[in-house]
Amino acid sequence: MPLKGLQAFEAVGRCGSVTAAAIELNVSPGAISQQIRKVEKFLGVTLLERSGRTAELTTWGRLYHREISKGFAQFAVARQVLERARNESVLVLSALSSVVNKWIGRRIFDWQALHPGAHIKIIGRDKEPQMGFDDVDFRVSYGSDVLQHEHYTELYRDWVVPACSPSLLNRRTVAAGDLFRFPLLHVEWEKHFTPYPSWADFALNVGVEFKELSPGLSFTLSSSAIDAAVNKRGIVLAQLSMIADELAAGTLIIPLDVRIPLPESYFLAWDRSALQKPFGREFRDWIVRIARQQAAQSAPLGGERL
């Protein structure tokens, strides 16, 4: 049996076309067709009905693809089993990219100091992993995305505040309405998330008219908007959990401490087997603990500001 031909045929059936299969396997469409002809010759049946530049599975082809796809799916499972076995002593944490860049990625060094024998791998990924299939032990999720997982707990509800480089204000004190005279940096998350607090929300909260002098820049990543603010590009509504280091270093300041909560909370999800790994349970408890500390630090004094 020509195994390369089987791989090509499985890819065509799964991807829906010879061209798509060729792109996935990084070969030419002609090479895909050539490999499939070898399988057809071996089996003595026609698997693809060719018409010009298009090709569709025949009745025999659909029947055959349904069965061989089971084997290719098992190959994927076998790879996952092997990877998990290789990483038995490694704890893999997946988190949203900005959370990695500005929160957990900065605090992981505290964990290492407490547990120098633990090996942690951090993956910045916005797409939710499949626990038990993807090579992921823990996941920091936002909002309702966490419902895809079986085991999870709430971490904290973050708050946003105006933040900018101190040189942008030139040491001036400003009122709420004065902020709109400066370049505004916007955060616009992907549509499947509940909307990030906007400058219009901020204006409504402080009781002033929102009137942006010029169109501002928008970022899908909170971390990118924060970096732009550090580089004196404007004022951003920044998550407090993500600017702690910048505030401590003085590269960002809060010109007006008005805090608006995010619509939803961050959560920690985990694969049940992760707690059986060395340091697995301790790692989960540590993340929950520092998240509770973050919640206490971010919440405004004297109750919520909405």
Q: What was the pLDDT predicted at 150?
A: 93
Q: What was the pLDDT predicted at 301?
A: 63
Q: For the residues 204-215, what does the mean pLDDT come to? A: 80
Q: What was the pLDDT predicted at 142?
A: 95
- Measure the CA–CA gap between 160 and 179, rounded to whole angstroms: 15
Q: For the residues 63-79, what does the mean pLDDT come to? A: 87
Q: Are 227 and 277 in contact (CB under 8 A)?
A: no
Beta strands at 119-124 and 138-142: parallel, antiparallel or unpaired: unpaired
Q: What was the pLDDT predicted at 235?
A: 94
Q: What was the pLDDT predicted at 76?
A: 82
Q: What was the pLDDT predicted at 55?
A: 81
- Measure the CA–CA gap between 14 and 16, rounded to whole angstroms: 6
- DSSP-based three-state secondary structure for 88: coil
Q: What was the pLDDT predicted at 224?
A: 94
How many residues would you count in the chain? 306
- Lowest-pLDDT choice from 43-47, 50-54, 181-185: 50-54
Distances (CA, A) of 48 to 115, 203, 261: 57, 61, 56
Q: For the residues 216-220, what does the mean pLDDT come to? A: 87
Give the number of C-alpha atoms closer than 13 A to the C-alpha of residue 88, restricted to the C-beta side: 4
Please say if the pLDDT value at position 304 is more than 50.
Answer: no
Burial (CB count within 10 angstroms: exposed 0-12, middle 13-18, buried 19+), residue 88: exposed
- 279 φψ region: left (φ > 0), alpha (ψ -120 to 50), beta (else): left
- Measure the CA–CA gap between 233 and 227, rounded to whole angstroms: 9
- Measure the CA–CA gap between 114 and 95, rounded to whole angstroms: 21
Please say if the pLDDT value at position 302 is more than 80.
Answer: no
Q: Are 215 and 199 in contact (CB under 8 A)?
A: no
Q: Are 160 and 269 in contact (CB under 8 A)?
A: no
Distances (CA, A) of 97 to 221, 241, 267, 268, 292: 8, 14, 15, 15, 21
* Between 225 and 2, residue with greater pLDDT: 225
Please say if the pLDDT value at position 243 is more than 90.
Answer: yes
- Lowest-pLDDT choice from 29-43, 69-83, 220-234, 258-272: 69-83
Q: Are 19 and 29 in contact (CB under 8 A)?
A: yes
Q: What was the pLDDT predicted at 279?
A: 93
Q: What is the pTM of this model?
A: 0.69
Beta strands at 90-95 and 119-124: parallel, antiparallel or unpaired: parallel
Q: Are 216 and 183 in contact (CB under 8 A)?
A: yes
pLDDT in tens, 265-292: 999 999 998 998 889 999 999 999 999 9
- Extract the runs of DSSP E, i.e. beta strands, from 125-204: 138-142, 152-156, 159-163, 184-187
Please say if the pLDDT value at position 305 is more than 50.
Answer: no
For residue 261, list its beta bridge partners. 159
Q: What is the dihedral of CA 34, 37, 41, 46, to 10 degrees?
A: -170
pLDDT in tens, 80-120: 777 666 656 789 999 999 999 999 999 999 999 999 989 99
Q: What was the pLDDT predicted at 213?
A: 65
Q: Are 232 and 167 in contact (CB under 8 A)?
A: yes
